[in-house]
């Protein structure tokens, strides 16, 4: 039997998909390269924006024809849309066999087994006190850089965000369990640990009378032999503590990159978003970060067209981008999400006006990114080699500590090694380089 999982959305969903494949391996499923050859299709859905949700439902609808051609085909829907809509998916899409929410991935084996036996369509959603962080790695050989989920859910309740409603309250993973997973991955060849969570830097774990915070976890992972580099995504500015900033000063294995979503440059709009920081406190934390790690590359998220945002307030966002000089931005037009507080605020701008703002923002950021990339040319960087390039299988591909992808030729077998590379040319989305002989 073969299974195909279509993933929508963020790194958390990508990681959840890997865990689903691990479960399906135990049921005797192999990986299918496409939907048409699959005996089981699962859509791992995202609802963070309205467009994402529409894509999911459109894709579910497109599977009806496959089901008619092959009545034995099983179809499941998991992830955030599944958590949000639950059994309504089964009512709207009669060809779907089962639905499971974000806290119920470990129920996948039961759901598939029941569907194979011809049981009625089932929906399992809702947040659980016995939520499990899945950590098997049976589906494939671990990669040079691997994700490890250390938190799930969110307690911030920003007015624009659906995450707390589809991922639940924040849960931090057992401290020693995380370290054990790191050691297991390193023993199988992983060299970079990438910690992920909705609010990864708010990690807090209580064990007996000992309390561990995120900075403690970073230092403990850095002490593991075989770990060459540590990354983490995504951070909340409110949880960028003095202890975490100090890690960038003292822990050489911690990558010189931080994704720190600011969302907006207007204090009034930030207050409407319930972000619980001001533009000034954000800028001050960035200054302290750069004092601790002078080469740190910052990236961020920006929401354009939040309800009631004025033209002057949008200009404040543009001024902040010019001041911080982010290496890259993930910018989006505000998307109203049912159930969030911002959904009740009347929108005052047309989509055309919002797209105009986004276009202007992209223009400014593209200039900044191009300038910063050009500064890489001629300089030497240590690159952790992840394998052959996805663009050219005659070249290797790796990343700098600042999270820049570098492509280069080499006759030697370099996968998993950290090598010095001189950057020869800066492209828009990656760098080209040559290995420096040692």
User: 41 or 141: which carries more pLDDT confidence?
Assistant: 41
The span from the CA of 105 to the CA of 167, in Å, is 12
- Of 139-143, 364-368, 377-381, 382-386, the one with minimum mean pLDDT is 139-143
Residue 438: band (very low, low, confident or very high) from pLDDT cuts 50, 70, 90: low
Residue 137 clears pLDDT 80, i.e. is over it: no
- Angle formed at CA 348 by CA 342 and CA 351, multiple of 5 degrees: 95
Q: Which pLDDT value is given to residue 49?
A: 87
Kindly provide the residue ranges of all beta strands, DSSP E only, lying in 80-207, ordered along the sequence.
98-100, 122-124, 145-149, 151-152, 171-172, 192-196, 204-207
pTM over 0.85: yes
- Angle formed at CA 149 by CA 184 and CA 189, multiple of 5 degrees: 30
- What is the four-CA torsion angle of 164, 165, 169, 174, rounded to 10 degrees? -80
Topology of the domain covering 380-435: OB fold (Dihydrolipoamide Acetyltransferase, E2P) (2.40.50)
Domain range 145-374, CATH architecture: Alpha-Beta Horseshoe (3.80)
Nearest to 431 by CA among 394, 387, 388, 378: 378
User: 26 or 204: which carries more pLDDT confidence?
Assistant: 204
81-134 pLDDT, tens digit per residue, is 999 999 999 999 999 999 999 999 999 999 999 999 999 999 999 999 999 898
Strand, coil or helix: 259:
strand
The span from the CA of 193 to the CA of 200, in Å, is 13
Domain spans in the chain, listed from the N-terminal domain onward: 2-124, 145-374, 380-435
180-228 pLDDT, tens digit per residue, is 999 999 999 999 999 999 999 999 999 888 999 999 999 999 999 999 9
Q: Which pLDDT value is given to residue 374?
A: 96
CATH code of the domain occupying 2-124: 3.40.50.12160
- Paired residues of 145 in beta bridges: 192
The span from the CA of 360 to the CA of 362, in Å, is 5
Averaged pLDDT, 288-309: 97
The span from the CA of 267 to the CA of 270, in Å, is 5
- Angle formed at CA 404 by CA 401 and CA 409, multiple of 5 degrees: 100
């Amino acid at each position: 039997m073969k299974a195909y999982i279509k993933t929508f959305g963020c790194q958390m969903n990508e990681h959840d998909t890997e865990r689903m494949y691990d479960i399906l391996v135990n049921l005797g499923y192999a990986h299918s390269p496409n939907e048409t050859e699959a005996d089981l299709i699962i859509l791992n859905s995202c609802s963070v924006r309205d467009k994402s949700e529409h894509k999911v439902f459109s894709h579910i609808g497109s599977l009806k024809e496959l089901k008619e051609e092959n009545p034995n085909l099983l179809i499941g829907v998991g992830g955030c849309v599944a958590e949000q809509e639950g059994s309504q998916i089964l009512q709207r899409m009669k060809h779907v066999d089962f639905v499971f929410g974000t806290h119920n991935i470990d129920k996948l084996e039961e759901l598939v087994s029941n569907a194979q036996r011809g049981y009625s369509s089932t929906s399992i959603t809702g947040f659980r006190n016995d939520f499990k962080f899945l950590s098997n790695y049976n589906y494939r050989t671990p990669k040079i850089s691997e994700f490890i989920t250390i938190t799930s859910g969110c307690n911030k309740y920003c007015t624009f965000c659906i995450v707390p409603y589809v991922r639940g309250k924040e849960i931090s993973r057992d401290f020693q369990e995380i370290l054990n997973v790191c050691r297991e991955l390193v023993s199988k060849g992983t060299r970079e640990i990438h910690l992920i969570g909705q609010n990864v830097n708010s990690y807090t774990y209580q064990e007996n009378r000992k309390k561990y915070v995120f900075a403690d976890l970073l230092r403990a992972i850095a002490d593991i032999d075989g770990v060459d580099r540590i990354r983490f995504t995504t951070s909340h500015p409110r949880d960028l503590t003095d202890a975490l900033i100090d890690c960038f000063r003292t822990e050489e294995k911690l990558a010189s990159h931080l994704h720190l979503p600011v969302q907006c440059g207007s204090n009034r709009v930030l207050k409407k978003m319930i972000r619980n920081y001001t533009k000034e406190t954000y800028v001050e934390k960035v200054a302290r970060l750069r004092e601790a790690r002078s080469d740190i590359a910052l990236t961020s998220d920006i929401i354009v067209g939040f309800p009631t945002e004025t033209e002057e307030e949008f200009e404040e966002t543009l001024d902040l981008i010019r001041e911080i000089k982010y290496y890259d931005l993930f910018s989006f037009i505000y998307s109203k999400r049912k159930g969030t507080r911002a959904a009740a605020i009347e929108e005052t701008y047309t989509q055309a006006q919002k797209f105009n703002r986004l276009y202007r923002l992209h223009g400014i950021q593209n200039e900044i990114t191009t300038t910063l990339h050009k500064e890489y040319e001629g300089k030497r960087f240590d690159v952790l080699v992840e394998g052959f390039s996805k663009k050219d299988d005659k070249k290797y591909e790796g990343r700098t500590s600042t999270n820049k992808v570098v492509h280069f030729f080499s006759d030697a077998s370099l996968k998993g090694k950290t090598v010095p590379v001189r950057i020869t040319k800066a492209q828009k989305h990656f760098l080209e380089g040559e290995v420096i002989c040692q």
